[in-house]
Amino acid sequence: MNIKEVGKSILYFLVLAAILIGLRHFVFTPVVVKGDSMDPTLIDGERVIALKNTKVKRFDIVTFPAPDDPGKNYIKRVIGLPGDTVEYKNDELYINGNKYEEAYLDEFKGKLTDDQPLTYDFNLSELFGSEKVPEGELFVLGDNRRISKDSRIIGMIKEKDIMADVKFVFWPINRFGTVD
């Protein structure tokens, strides 16, 4: 092997490393799920890929810095967008007065045996004294509503604080695939 071939190989690996580092820094980030607040959608210990710089939509699962625990991040589902009213009545979600189905909760609700709702009744006025999600903020909930520390407890999340949008499970291998 001559010096020219070695130089090309080194340059190839440096360019490849730079591309991978750039993608990791600007496009996606791996995230480890910690805790049970997103059960059964995301399970404690799963590893997921989250896309950065995406337009967050209703029902997306996002990660953001924990406002009540510096150094930690939370993963929750976006329920309310700026200007929305959000209310739960009889374990059913109403946004801007319209009922929304949450099919991702059906399996979990079916396993409850205590005749209690998964999500207890609330509205934004009761929680925050305001009827609507403020501009620049989001209302988020964990899928395991009974134990989740979410907007009902920690308050609204600033849109600018959203780090990434969870899209893909890559570990464990039996859960490999996109996040619904």
Architecture of domain 29-178: Ribbon (2.10)
Residue ranges of domains in the chain: 29-178
Per-chain mean pLDDT for the chain: 89
Long-range contacts of residues 58-62, Cβ cutoff 8 Å, at least 24 apart: 58/95, 59/104, 60/165, 60/166, 61/165, 61/166, 61/179, 62/138, 62/140, 62/162, 62/163, 62/164, 62/165, 62/166
2-33 pLDDT per residue, tens: 888 888 888 888 888 787 777 666 767 888 88
Is 125 annotated in the active site? no
Residue 5's pLDDT is 85
108-161 pLDDT per residue, tens: 888 888 888 999 999 999 999 899 999 999 999 999 999 999 999 999 999 999
Residue 11's pLDDT is 83
pTM for the model:
0.85
Is 76 annotated in the active site? yes
Active-site choice (76, 111, 125, 132): 76
Active-site choice (9, 37, 111, 125): 37
Which residue in 61, 31, 75, 48 sits closest to 170, CA to CA? 48
For residue 59, what pLDDT band results from cuts at 50, 70 and 90? very high
